[in-house]
Amino acid sequence: MEVIRTTQTQLARKKRSILGSKKMLVYVMFTIPALLLYIGFFFYPTLMGFNYSLTNWDGMARTYKYIGLDNYLAIFKDTRFLHSLGFTFKYTLIVVILKITLALGLAMLLTTNLRFRGLFRSIYFFPAVLSLITIGLIFNEIFLTILPAIGEALGIEALSRNILGNKDTALYGIIIANVWHGVAVPMVIFMAGLASVPKDLHEAATIDGASRSQRFVSITLPFLIPMLNVNLVLIIKGGLTVFDSIVAMTDGGPGTSTESIGFLIYRHGLLENKFGYATAESIFIFALIALISFVQMKWLSKKEVGQQ
Amino acid sequence: MKKHQTLKQTALFGAAVALAVTAGCSNGGEEVSGKEASTANTGGKVKLELLSNKSDVTETLNKVIAKFHENNPNIEIEVNAPPNMLKVLAMRIANNDAPALFTVYPSAPSMRQPVKDGYYADLTGDKTLFSNVIPSFVDFSKTLDKNYTVPYALEGYGVTYNVDMFKELGLSIPKTYDELIQAAEKIKAAGKTPFLFPDKEYSVIRQTTAAFLGLDIPNASQLFDDVINGKQHIADNQEVRKVAQKVLDLRKYGQKDLLGTAQDNVIRDMAAGKGAMFFHGMWQAPAIKKANPNLNIDIFPFPADKAEDTKVAMQVGTALSIPKDGKNNSEAKKFMEFFATTEMAQMYADETGNISVIQGVKPNYKENKTLADYALSGKLYRAADSTWTPAMQDDFGKATQELIGGGTIDAYMKKLEDIFYNKGN
C-alpha cells in the first residue's frame, strides 16, 4: 500500500514538475518577442551609443577616430552643458512640486460628490490628449498677444511683454505650458489611489476625533504612496527630458537661457555635428537619472503602506 | 462557458483586424525620397530625381522640366522637395544613395564639407555648362576655388519697406546710414514703429548681423578666416565693436517687445501696416504681399556709411550640382545646360523674382529691381558668415541675441573670441 502511494506521489510530483516546466516554457515563449524588441531597440542602441561616445564622430562622415574618455572630460568643462543641467534641474523641481500638488488637489476635488463630476473629469483630462508641440505653439501666441494685452490693461509691467522674450521669465512660460498639459495623467493616477482608501478607516478615525488634516496625513497619504511613486517617476522623467515645448516656444532662447539637457544633446548631435560628444552627454544623463530614480524609489518604498 | 468562448472569439478577431490594418497602413505610407535615386536605363528612358531645397519655386521648376522633356523625351525628371533638404542630402550621400540632381548653396557651410570629402562632381572648366552664365558669377559661385555647381540665380538681403507710410511722411529712400537713422527718427516722432526685428529667432539675427559685418568691414570674410585659424584676435577688434554698437543702435527704433517677436509676427505686423521697415531677405516681400495684397511695399538696399560704398549681401540661391561619378551625370548635365538657356532663365526670373545670373536675361524684377541693379553691376558681397561652421553660426546668433537682451558689448566681444578664435581644424 505504502509503496503504491509513494509511487503515486512520485508520479504526481513528476507530472507537476513537467507541467511546471511546460508553463515556464510558455511564459518564456511569450516574453521572447518583447525581449527581442527591447534588446534590438533599446539595449543595442545604448551600447552603440556608448561606443560612439568614445569617438569624435560628427554624425555624417564615413570615418571617425577613437578618443577615449575625452568627451566625458570635456562635458565637465562645458559651461553651456552645466548651465543646461542647472536649468533642467531647476525646471524639474518647480514642475514636480506644481504638478503633484495640483494633481492631488484636483484628484481630491474630483472624488467628492460633485455635480457634473464626470464632465469636470473629462474637462480636466483634456489637455493630456493634445501634443506638447501643439500646446507650445498655441501658448506662444497667447504669450505674445493675449497675455501682454491683459498685462497692459492691468498695469503690470512684467506681463506687458512676451514673457518668453526675457531670459529670466522664459522658464515660467515653458513651465506654464507643461504644467497645463501634465497635470491630467497624475490626476487620474491619484484618483485611482484615492479610490483604494478604505472608507471604514476614515469613519473609525472620525469617531476617534481625528481632524481632517490628521486623517489625510495618517490614512490617505500612506495609501497614496505607491501612486506618488509612480507619479514622481513619470513627472521627474518628463521634467528631465523636457524638449518639445522648448523647441515649440523658445528654441533654447533667449540666448541660451532655456536650453535643457535634451535640447542641448539634440543641438550638439544633430545640428552642430558633434554626434560623439552628444552621445557622451546622453550617457551621462542616463546614469544621473538612473541614480535619482533608484534613490527615490528606495526612499519612498520604505514609507509605503504595509512596509513599516 | 459560452460567454467566455464568444468573448475569446471576438477578441481574437479584433486583434487580427488590428494587425491587418496596421500592416496595410505601413505598406501604403512609404516615403518617396530614397526610393527613386538615379535609376539605370530601362529601355532608353531615364528617370532623374531633383532634390530641391526651394519648395516655393517647385512650380516654376516643373515648368522648366516640362519644356526640357519636350526636347528630350527619354529623360524624365521628378522634383522632390522634403523639409530639411540639406540634412536629407547629407545623409543620402553618406549612404551612397545620392540623388541625380540637387540644389546647393555654394557659399554656405553646407557645401564645404561634402566638397572636401569629394562627394560632388568637379565641373571646373566645363565649357558647355558655363557658356551662358555671366562670367563674374562663375567665379562668385566657386567653392574652395573650384566650380562644383552651375549657378542660376541670386538671393539676398534688403530693407523691405512700407511705401505708403514713406509717402505719407514725405520720406525718400535713404542713401546713407545717417539718412536711414533720420528717417527712423521721423517715423518714431509720428508715433509709428520704424523697424520690426524678429529677435526671437537667433538665426535671423545671425543673418542680418553677418550682413552688417560684411557691409561695414572690408574683407570681413578674410578677417574671420584669420581669427578662426588663430592668426588674429577678435575680442579687441574695433570694427566688429562698431557693428555691435550699430546692432544696438538700430534696436532703439524697433518694436517694444524685441526678443518676444518671431518672424511670422513681423510679417503679420508689416502686412497690417504696423511697421515701416524690415531688414531681411528679399523673399520676405512676397510673403508680406501674400498676407496683405493691398499693401504697397518695395525693397531698398541697406545703406552703408557712405552712399558709394553701399552694396547688397547676396549669395547664389539657385544652383544645381551632381554627385561625383553619378550614373546619370550626362543626362543631368543636359538639364543643367538647358536650365541655363536665356529663355528658361528669363522664365525663372520672371516667376520667382530671384536675380538671374544668366546672360541675356531682361530684368523684370518688381520689388527686387534695385537689389538686382546693384548685384548685376558688381556691387555685391557675401555675408561674413559664409566661412563659418553651422555651430559657429548658431553660437554667433545666440550671442548677439544675448547682447540685444541686455548684455554688454564687452561680454559680447569676449564671447565672439570664444566662438571663433582658433576654432579651425
- By C-alpha distance, the chain B residue nearest A61 is B94
- The CA distance from B390 to the nearest CA of chain A, in Å, is 6
Partner residue facing B390 (CB), from A166, A255, A273: A273
Exposed e or buried b per residue across B370-402, where buried means at least 16 C-beta atoms within 10 angstroms of its C-beta: bbbebbbeebbbbbbbbbbbbbbbbbbbbbbbb
Partner residue facing A253 (CB), from B91, B202, B390: B202
Q: What pLDDT score does A89 carry? A: 93
CATH 3.40.190.10 describes domain B46-155+315-375: yes
Rounded to whole angstroms, how far apart are CA atoms A149 and A159? 8
Q: B421 and B233 in contact (C-beta within 8 Å)?
A: yes
Residues near A61 by beta carbon (within 8 Å), at least 6 away in sequence: B94, B113, B117
- Residue spans of the domains in chain A: they are 1-53, 74-302
Partner residue facing A254 (CB), from B390, B394, B405: B405
Rounded to whole angstroms, how far apart are CA atoms A236 and A296? 10
- By C-alpha distance, the chain A residue nearest B88 is A60
Q: What Rg, from alpha-carbon coordinates, does chain B have?
A: 25
pTM over 0.90: no
Bigger pLDDT: A63 vs A147 = A147
- The CA distance from B43 to the nearest CA of chain A, in Å, is 35
- By C-alpha distance, the chain B residue nearest A274 is B391
Partner residue facing B260 (CB), from A165, A251, A271: A165
Residues near A18 by beta carbon (within 8 Å), at least 6 away in sequence: none
- The CA distance from A144 to the nearest CA of chain B, in Å, is 7
How far is residue B379 from each of residues A41, B179, B302, measured CA to CA in Å?
55, 20, 12
- Please name the residue ranges forming H helices in B95-219: 109-116, 127-130, 135-140, 163-168, 177-189, 202-216
Q: What pLDDT score does B33 carry? A: 40
Whether B46-155+315-375 shares its CATH topology with B156-314+383-420 is answered yes
With beta carbons under 8 A apart, name residues in chain A contacting B389: 272-273
Q: A85 and A240 in contact (C-beta within 8 Å)?
A: no
CATH 3.40.50.450 describes domain B156-314+383-420: no
Q: Which of A95-104, A249-258, B36-45 has the highest mean pLDDT?
A: A95-104
Q: Please compute the mean of the pLDDT values over residues A81-99 and round it to a whole number.
A: 93
pLDDT for residue A308 is more than 50: no
Of the residues B86, B96, B117, B257, the best mutation for testing chain A's interface (the one with the most A CB atoms within 10 Å of its CB) is: B257
Q: B291 and B163 in contact (C-beta within 8 Å)?
A: no
* Cβ separation A273–B391 shorter than 8 A: yes
Backbone dihedral angles phi then psi of residue B386, each to the nearest 5 degrees: -75, -15
| pLDDT tens-place string over residues B209-246 | 999 999 999 889 889 989 999 898 998 999 999 999 99
Partner residue facing B94 (CB), from A60, A254, A271: A60
With beta carbons under 8 A apart, name residues in chain A contacting B117: 61-62
| pLDDT tens-place string over residues A23-77 | 899 999 999 999 999 999 999 999 998 888 888 887 767 678 888 888 888 888 8
Partner residue facing B260 (CB), from A61, A144, A270: A144
| pLDDT tens-place string over residues B327-354 | 888 889 999 999 999 999 999 988 888 8
Residues near A68 by beta carbon (within 8 Å), at least 6 away in sequence: A54
pLDDT band at A304 (very low <50, low <70, confident <90, very high): low
Bigger pLDDT: A306 vs A299 = A299
Residues near A173 by beta carbon (within 8 Å), at least 6 away in sequence: A139, A143, A163, A164, A249, A250
- By C-alpha distance, the chain A residue nearest B389 is A272
Q: B333 and B127 in contact (C-beta within 8 Å)?
A: no
* Cα B334–Cα B337–Cα B338 angle in degrees, nearest 5: 85
Q: What pLDDT score does A103 carry? A: 95
With beta carbons under 8 A apart, name residues in chain A contacting B258: 165
The helix (run of H) or strand (run of E) holding residue B300 is: strand B297-300
Peptide bond into A254 cis (omega under 30): yes
pLDDT for residue A5 is more than 80: no
- Residues on chain B bordering chain A, Cβ-to-Cβ distance under 8 angstroms: 87, 90-91, 94, 113, 117, 199-202, 256-262, 265, 389-391, 394, 398-399, 401-402, 405
- The CA distance from A126 to the nearest CA of chain B, in Å, is 26
* Cβ separation A164–B405 shorter than 8 A: no
* Cβ separation B257–A162 shorter than 8 A: yes
With beta carbons under 8 A apart, name residues in chain A contacting B91: 60
- The CA distance from A70 to the nearest CA of chain B, in Å, is 17
Per-residue pLDDT of chain B (425 residues; tens, 9 = 90+): 555 666 666 666 656 655 655 554 444 333 334 333 444 444 578 899 999 998 888 889 999 999 999 998 899 999 999 988 888 898 888 888 899 999 999 888 888 888 888 889 999 988 888 999 998 899 888 888 899 999 999 999 999 999 999 999 999 999 999 999 999 999 999 999 999 999 989 889 999 999 999 999 988 988 998 999 989 899 899 999 999 999 999 999 998 888 888 898 899 999 998 999 999 998 888 888 888 889 999 999 999 999 888 999 998 989 999 999 888 888 899 999 999 999 999 999 888 888 899 998 888 888 888 888 888 888 888 888 888 888 888 889 999 999 998 889 999 999 999 889 888 75
Q: What pLDDT score does A16 carry? A: 59
* Cβ separation B202–A167 shorter than 8 A: no
- By C-alpha distance, the chain A residue nearest B400 is A255
pLDDT for residue A15 is more than 70: no
Short-list B39, B56, B57, CA closest to B48:
B39
Identity of the amino acid at A74: A
Backbone dihedral angles phi then psi of residue B133, each to the nearest 5 degrees: -90, 140
| pLDDT tens-place string over residues A185-224 | 999 999 999 888 888 888 888 888 888 888 888 888 888 8
Residues near A170 by beta carbon (within 8 Å), at least 6 away in sequence: A163, A164, A249, A250, A253, A254, A257, A258
Q: What pLDDT score does B32 carry? A: 39
- Name the grid cell of A156: 503690470
Of the residues A83, A168, A171, A256, the best mutation for testing chain B's interface (the one with the most B CB atoms within 10 Å of its CB) is: A256
Q: What pLDDT score does B41 carry? A: 46
- Residue spans of the domains in chain B: they are 46-155+315-375, 156-314+383-420
Q: What's the CATH code, domain A74-302?
A: 1.10.3720.10
* Cβ separation A161–B265 shorter than 8 A: no
How far is residue A200 from each of residues A196, A203, B113, measured CA to CA in Å?
12, 5, 73
* Cβ separation A165–B257 shorter than 8 A: yes
- Name the grid cell of A275: 554626434
A–B interface: beta-carbon pairs under 8 A: 78
Rounded to whole angstroms, how far apart are CA atoms B214 and B246? 13
Of the residues A162, A163, A166, A247, the best mutation for testing chain B's interface (the one with the most B CB atoms within 10 Å of its CB) is: A162
- Residues on chain A bordering chain B, Cβ-to-Cβ distance under 8 angstroms: 60-62, 140, 143-144, 148, 161-167, 250-256, 267, 270-274
Of the residues B93, B204, B256, B259, the best mutation for testing chain A's interface (the one with the most A CB atoms within 10 Å of its CB) is: B259
- Name the grid cell of B383: 555675408
Rounded to whole angstroms, how far apart are CA atoms B201 and B193? 20
